[in-house]
């Protein structure tokens, strides 16, 4: 019953996100702040991880191709498919569930502990719209992060293959361009938008409905990360089945 209550509260919170909106001039400033905190400040770790994940995928693919009859351009092909279809949208989202999710839960949870949310209610402001809506709008730029991850993942695979002696540049580029299906990129962006919605709302829910003191803020951040990751994995399966199945 606790799980059903939590699910019901979550969907009621989503409804209230769009109810009684805050004044636009205030919301606009909040959106720009959230873009800086959630998107801009997260680009460093996305760039670092994507480049080296692409390199690892390329090296592992090359090492497992030991049959001389298998063309070497398959290293680039496998790297492209792995990065675009799965690593860039899903792996990046799970990492951001830890970084963004913890930040969102702890910031809102701290406001709950210090009674700032109660103060917003007293002033006649819808606190859910004030706190969650700017985060939701800011995370609509999440596909940009995924596109950056795609590019750097493939670039990292190329660098690892060429400079590691596993493939030539021409073979790797041939693999990247071989049998390319543009819808795979669209599929990845659709997934990233769905994951962005989860990244904005589930951590916000755990922060907003948190009970207790400062110690519970850390516990809520951990719980939010776990449930955000579970939701991302389940939705990854469902979206893949719907769009590619």
Least confident span in 44-58, 167-181, 183-197: 167-181
The answer on pLDDT for 212 being more than 80 is: no
Residue 179: phi, psi to the nearest 5?
50, 45
The answer on pLDDT for 213 being more than 80 is: no
Residue with tokens 């210090």: 114
Quick check: 79 and 218 in contact, CB under 8 A?
Answer: no
pLDDT of residue 1: 53
Q: Establish if 69 belongs to a structural domain.
A: yes
Range of the domain at 105: 23-244
Tell me: the pLDDT tens digits for 32-52?
A: 999 999 999 999 999 999 999
- Number of domains the chain contains: 1
Q: Establish if 193 belongs to a structural domain.
A: yes
pLDDT of residue 195: 95
Q: Establish if 3 belongs to a structural domain.
A: no
pLDDT of residue 177: 87
Least confident span in 11-25, 81-95, 184-198: 11-25
The answer on pLDDT for 135 being more than 80 is: yes
Q: Establish if 101 belongs to a structural domain.
A: yes
Question: Stretch 115-141: mean pLDDT, rounded?
Answer: 89
Task: Tell me the CA distances in angstroms from 131 to 49, 97, 108, 222, 224, one per residue in order.
Answer: 29, 18, 8, 20, 16
Q: Establish if 15 belongs to a structural domain.
A: no
CA 230 to CA 225: how far, in whole Å?
Answer: 9
Tell me: the pLDDT tens digits for 5-32?
A: 888 888 898 988 888 888 888 889 999 9
Q: Establish if 12 belongs to a structural domain.
A: no
Q: Establish if 2 belongs to a structural domain.
A: no
Q: Establish if 1 belongs to a structural domain.
A: no
């Amino acid at each position: 019953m606790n799980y059903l209550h939590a699910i019901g509260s979550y969907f009621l919170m989503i409804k209230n996100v769009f109810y009684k909106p805050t004044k636009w001039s205030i919301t606009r400033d909040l959106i720009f702040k959230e873009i800086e905190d959630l998107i801009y400040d997260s680009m460093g770790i996305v760039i670092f991880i994507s480049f080296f994940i692409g390199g690892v995928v390329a090296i592992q693919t090359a090492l497992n191709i030991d049959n001389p009859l298998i063309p070497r351009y398959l290293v680039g092909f496998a790297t492209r498919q792995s990065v675009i279809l799965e690593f860039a949208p899903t792996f990046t989202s799970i990492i951001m569930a830890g970084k963004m999710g913890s930040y969102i839960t702890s910031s809102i949870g701290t406001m709950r502990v210090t009674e700032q949310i109660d103060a917003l209610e007293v002033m006649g402001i819808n606190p859910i719209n004030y706190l969650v809506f700017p985060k939701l709008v800011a995370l609509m730029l999440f596909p940009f992060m995924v596109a950056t991850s795609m590019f750097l993942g493939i670039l990292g695979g190329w660098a690892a293959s060429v400079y590691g002696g596993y493939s030539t540049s021409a073979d790797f580029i041939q693999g990247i361009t071989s049998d390319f299906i543009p819808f795979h990129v669209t599929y990845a962006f659709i997934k990233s938008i769905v994951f962005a919605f989860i990244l904005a709302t589930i951590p916000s829910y755990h922060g907003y409905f948190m009970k207790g003191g400062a110690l519970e803020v850390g516990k809520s951040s951990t719980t939010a990360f776990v449930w955000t990751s579970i939701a991302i994995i389940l939705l990854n399966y469902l979206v893949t089945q719907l769009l590619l199945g």
